Amino acid sequence: MEIKILLCDDHKIFREGLKTLLASTPRLKVVGEAADGRQSVALAASLRPDIVVMDISMPRLNGIEATRKILSSGHKPAIIALSMHNDRRFVTEILRAGARGYLLKDSAFEELSRAICSVASGKVYLDPAVTSAVIEACTGPAADAGHTAFTALSNREREVLQLIAEGKSTKTIASALRLSVKTIETHRNKIMQKLQIDSIAGLTKYAVREGLTSL
């Protein structure tokens, strides 16, 4: 049975290389490519893939938030994170968001192929390099996670913060999220209060440090 795959990564050369490799593998078919998180959500809804291979650091909406949005819809594909990040925060947060697999980008292609077939059959697949991070998250004290963007801010606040950090105006953010300008201003003020940051430059540095954007 054919496995339909959606590739989500903001680097075109990487997507094209991956697509070529997947095309040479029996049963695997790439049905679409997304260059940012919002396009990932839209294409997942319209193409209804079996598997979504998801980068974490993407413009407009990062892979963690995109995963949450995709899996909150009626169609629920299996999502595999394929990322350069091995930081415990990113691994645990995208798994909490519902991803079924996590691989590092320096993995061999054969491992990605195995991961796709594994999660397509209902299993979970983790890169051995991140397994310890998952075990620590499950067995360590809850407070050990510390103060991060994922613990301090709501899903919507993280969306707004990412767009602010990417230089989008309040009006543009309001249009993208289909909210009023006043609502975006309220979110921005709450974000500043929660993080105790009083400038856009400070918010941008924070967002980059926390991995919400790669800018």
Q: CA 145, 151, 155 angle in degrees (round to 5)? A: 145
What's the whole-model pTM score? 0.86
Class of the CATH-defined domain 149-209: mainly alpha
Domain 3-139 has what CATH class? alpha beta
**Residue intervals in the chain for CATH 1.10.10.10:** 149-209
What would the pLDDT profile of 86-129 be if each residue is shown by its tens digit?
Answer: 888 888 899 999 999 999 998 888 999 999 999 999 999 998 88
Asked if pLDDT for residue 138 goes beyond 90, the answer is: no
Residues of the chain with CATH 3.40.50.2300: 3-139
* CA 115 remoteness from chain centre: 17
* For residues 50-54, average pLDDT: 97
In the sheet that 3-8 helps form, which strands lie side by side, from edge to edge?
28-34, 3-8, 51-54, 78-83, 101-104, 125-126
pLDDT at position 143: 44
